[in-house]
Chain A
Amino acid sequence: MDITYTILIPLIPLAVFLLLGIFSQKIKPAVSGLIGVVGLSTSTLLSFYTAYQYFFVHGKINGVYQAIVQKTTWMNFTDNLHIDMGVLIDPISVMMLIVVSIVSLMVHIYSIGYMKGDDGFTRFFSFLSLFSFSMFGLVLATNLFQIYIFWELVGVSSYLLIGYYYTIPSAVSAGKKAFIVTRFADLGFLIGILIIGYYTGTYDFETLNNPEGAAILNWTSTSFMGLSVLTWALILIFIGGAGKSAMFPLHIWLPDAMEGPTPVSALIHAATMVVAGVYLVARLFPMYYFVEDGFALNIVAYVGGFSSLFAAIIAITQTDIKRVLAFSTMSQLGYMMMALGVSGYNGHEGVGYMASMFHLFTHAMFKALLFLGAGSVIHAVHSNYLKDMGGLRKYMPITNATFLIAALAISGVFPLSGFWSKDEILVAAFEHNMLLYVVGVFVAGLTAFYMFRIYFGIFWGKDTQYKHAPHESPLSMTIPLIVLALITIFSGFIHFSEFIAPDRIGFEAHLNYPLAAIATAVGLTGIVLSYIFYKKENDLADKFANAFGVFYKWTYNKFYFDEIYLFVTKKIIFNLIAAPIAKFDKKIVDATMEGIGNKTVVISKRIKGMQSGKVQDYAFSFIAGTVILAIVFIYLWTN
């Protein structure tokens, strides 16, 4: 199967980015929006074509999905170790292509309506294209270094888009925060890459992931502090992934990232970039699974499980709807990580891996839908806060309906897509780790509760009096909502397990009825509880908040994690470490250099005096020098 054309999928958005970026002053907003949409539509079509070709025509050979790689050598380090650039087509990369292209296209269309009249319209679209390019590149990467390059590129585009409203200080600082936190995590990623390169001599995914390959079989060869170096490398890589996917404790940037325009939140901070961490772990899944019997994978599972619980609890108390969604995203990402962590490798054992990818897919769709719906609401009422909303169902029927579908899906109600994927995750957890299963079920309940809390808060609840009567958003915004809602409804019926499995063979997944029943029951309980609390305006919620007292306050303030980080960085790192070093630098290193410079100036000023401009002074020096040389050569250097 010739896959050369897939290179166009990332390259078209890049071309659009360059076009819009370079001529941003010349192109009219309407035209630039059109260019962006057309460009991305082409990429989307190509993605679908690739998926069709791969899954249904060429991909399967002898019942196994082959990884198709096309690459060229880019940099040579040694005979074996080189960095390639190319495209890797295998089940998860194709699936990610579909996710990224659909969500990105929807967001592009949506943005035409949402960003209408904004000064930086063209800039916005060029950044969106840059992001799409980077994300496609990340998905298609054939080796660790390539993925790292695009990994940083998505980081940059995320930074640019979070700080899109660069006149607002909070947006600027949020952009910086996101960039710095993820950069910090990427340091781990980079060190992990280097360790892997050093000990296995390759960056190539296919070589690394081969279960019979040298990289996996020789994991015992070198150890460091009781663990194999490869385990350390995988843990470090996971730190990078955790930074991107906002896993505890590197999650602090995600809520602040909501300062960016809402379509950006939907695209980057819900559907695509933040799942890069999950994708990275899935990409290296065989390594995680086989090296040291999955020690690193256990860490992934527990971090994922804890993050999902932690974020779900915080999400209950937040009043900014975008922040609720952000914490919800973090919680669902924790779910995916957890599912990966409890997965096995062969046949039906790989259900966790499959469930993680399945949930990644469905979550991308309904979370993008939720964000876009929230954006539509924010567009109508010009506020992010629940207190400014209420009773909107009368004004915005389409938004209401689609938001409800997405909320039901994330709560795991049959037969929407979230039900299926969440069920698979819980099955995987149930089969491997009881503790994580309990956490998962509890989180499912919490998810349903906070989701319907904001749903009722926005569309039902109190009848807020609006200054301007809110109205339904324009067609360019509602069409993506409808499309995504349709996908949300039907995508659960896709048999993911046939296409995606860690060993790439595929298996039959069956609904586990008791587990499904429990999960659905918990989800419905959450919905009912929030119905009682928030359907009508009443003080039940406040009473409960008061009953929890301190705990509520802690949760509301996100367990003071921002403050802890600030304390650590400002008080400890800046004052105790950085300040003395800065002093050393200024007083000793700089002072030495400046002293040398100043002395040079003083000396040269003295020397300058010798250049009197008087002929005779020069002549005197000349003659004296001649005489001295004559003396030296005639008398002193006689032999």
Chain B
Amino acid sequence: MERYIFYILAAIIIVSAIASVTSKKMLRSVIYLLFTLCGIAGIYFLIDYNFLAAIQLTVYAGGIIVLIIFSVVLIHHIEMELEVAKLSKKIITGLACAIGLGVFLTTIYSHQFNVVENFNSTTTEQIGLKLLSYEAGGFILPFEVISILLLASMIGAIVIAKGKKLTDKNESK
């Protein structure tokens, strides 16, 4: 049962990812990306990381996708056709990616993984403790760093998006 669900999810992920990078319509491309992200969240559910799946859905599918949609809407007409790369460039890039993929897969399949059979489930509490622990193996420092990074990027985003034009206008007044 889980197996088939995984295959379905994998198919959704890959097909919608391909659709996302090839679609000529901007907004559709974003929606295909949304499907991919949801598929990935499904995989997280499958391997029993429910908290991670929740984050994936809220932050990615909820936050980032909305952000991107906003920027698309601000900048483009929704039905606007995208410029497409030349065929030759597509083929060359595709070939390079295929070769890279080949390298990856042969490497992966020639490697012997020490898989540990388990069906542990992880609670949110464990993750929270791990994040905020300051003992050996704890992640309190990266956690704080990330929070500062988020703050900084928030301020930065505001400053950049505000732009020079506004201040220019103020000065000209």
Cα–Cα, bound, A627→B99 (Å): 8
Which chain A residues border B126 with CB–CB below 8 Å? none
Q: Are the C-beta atoms of B96 and A627 separated by less than 8 Å?
A: yes
Chain A residue with minimal CB distance to B85? A616
Cα–Cα, bound, A631→B96 (Å): 12
- Shortest distance from the beta carbon of A620 to any chain B beta carbon, whole Å: 7
Chain A, 606-626, CB within 8 A of any chain B CB: 620, 623-624
A634 adjacent to chain B (CB < 8 Å): yes
Cα–Cα, bound, A34→B22 (Å): 95
Q: Are the C-beta atoms of B103 and A627 separated by less than 8 Å?
A: yes
Cα–Cα, bound, A623→B103 (Å): 13
Which chain B residues border A624 with CB–CB below 8 Å? 96
Chain B residue with minimal CB distance to A631? B103
Which chain A residues border B93 with CB–CB below 8 Å? 620
Chain A residue with minimal CB distance to B104? A630
Cα–Cα, bound, A623→B100 (Å): 9
Q: Are the C-beta atoms of B103 and A630 separated by less than 8 Å?
A: yes
B118 adjacent to chain A (CB < 8 Å): no
User: How many contacts between A and B, using CB within 8 angstroms?
Assistant: 15
- Considering only CB atoms and an 8 Å cut-off, how many residues of chain A contact the other chain? 7
Chain B, 96-154, CB within 8 A of any chain A CB: 96, 99-100, 103, 107
Q: Are the C-beta atoms of B96 and A623 separated by less than 8 Å?
A: yes
Cα–Cα, bound, A620→B107 (Å): 22
Q: Are the C-beta atoms of A634 and B96 separated by less than 8 Å?
A: no
Cα–Cα, bound, A634→B110 (Å): 11
- Shortest distance from the beta carbon of A168 to any chain B beta carbon, whole Å: 65
Which chain A residues border B99 with CB–CB below 8 Å? 627, 631
Q: Secondary structure at chain B's binding surface: helix, strand, loop or mixed?
A: helix
Which chain A residues border B100 with CB–CB below 8 Å? 623, 627, 630
Q: Are the C-beta atoms of A620 and B96 separated by less than 8 Å?
A: yes
Which chain A residues border B96 with CB–CB below 8 Å? 620, 623-624, 627
Cα–Cα, bound, A634→B99 (Å): 14
- Shortest distance from the beta carbon of B103 to any chain A beta carbon, whole Å: 5
Which chain B residues border A620 with CB–CB below 8 Å? 93, 96
Cα–Cα, bound, A624→B96 (Å): 7
Which chain A residues border B107 with CB–CB below 8 Å? 634
- Shortest distance from the beta carbon of B58 to any chain A beta carbon, whole Å: 30
Which chain B residues border A631 with CB–CB below 8 Å? 99, 103
Which chain A residues border B103 with CB–CB below 8 Å? 627, 630-631, 634
Cα–Cα, bound, A230→B103 (Å): 81
- Shortest distance from the beta carbon of A465 to any chain B beta carbon, whole Å: 87
Interface string of A276-295 (1 = CB under 8 A from B): 00000000000000000000
Cα–Cα, bound, A631→B107 (Å): 10
Which chain B residues border A634 with CB–CB below 8 Å? 103, 107
Chain A residue with minimal CB distance to B107? A634
Cα–Cα, bound, A630→B106 (Å): 12
- Shortest distance from the beta carbon of A617 to any chain B beta carbon, whole Å: 10
Cα–Cα, bound, A630→B105 (Å): 12
- Shortest distance from the beta carbon of A6 to any chain B beta carbon, whole Å: 77
Chain B, 69-104, CB within 8 A of any chain A CB: 93, 96, 99-100, 103
Chain A residue with minimal CB distance to B92? A620
Cα–Cα, bound, A620→B93 (Å): 8
- Shortest distance from the beta carbon of A266 to any chain B beta carbon, whole Å: 77
Which chain B residues border A623 with CB–CB below 8 Å? 96, 100
- Shortest distance from the beta carbon of A621 to any chain B beta carbon, whole Å: 11
Cα–Cα, bound, A627→B95 (Å): 12
Which chain B residues border A627 with CB–CB below 8 Å? 96, 99-100, 103
Cα–Cα, bound, A631→B103 (Å): 7
Chain A, 583-639, CB within 8 A of any chain B CB: 620, 623-624, 627, 630-631, 634
Cα–Cα, bound, A630→B103 (Å): 8
Cα–Cα, bound, A443→B103 (Å): 104
Chain A residue with minimal CB distance to B93? A620
Cα–Cα, bound, A620→B103 (Å): 17
Cα–Cα, bound, A566→B103 (Å): 81
- Shortest distance from the beta carbon of B112 to any chain A beta carbon, whole Å: 15
Cα–Cα, bound, A630→B99 (Å): 11
Cα–Cα, bound, A627→B100 (Å): 6
Chain A residue with minimal CB distance to B101? A627
Chain B residue with minimal CB distance to A634? B107
A-B pairs, top 4 by smallest CB distance, nearest first, are A627-B100, A630-B103, A624-B96, A631-B103
Q: Which residues of A contact B (CB under 8 A)?
A: 620, 623-624, 627, 630-631, 634
Other A-B pairs, 12, CB within 8 Å; known A620-B93, A634-B107: A620-B96, A623-B96, A624-B96, A627-B96, A627-B99, A627-B100, A627-B103, A630-B100, A630-B103, A631-B99, A631-B103, A634-B103
15 contacts between A and B (CB under 8 A): A620-B93, A620-B96, A623-B96, A623-B100, A624-B96, A627-B96, A627-B99, A627-B100, A627-B103, A630-B100, A630-B103, A631-B99, A631-B103, A634-B103, A634-B107
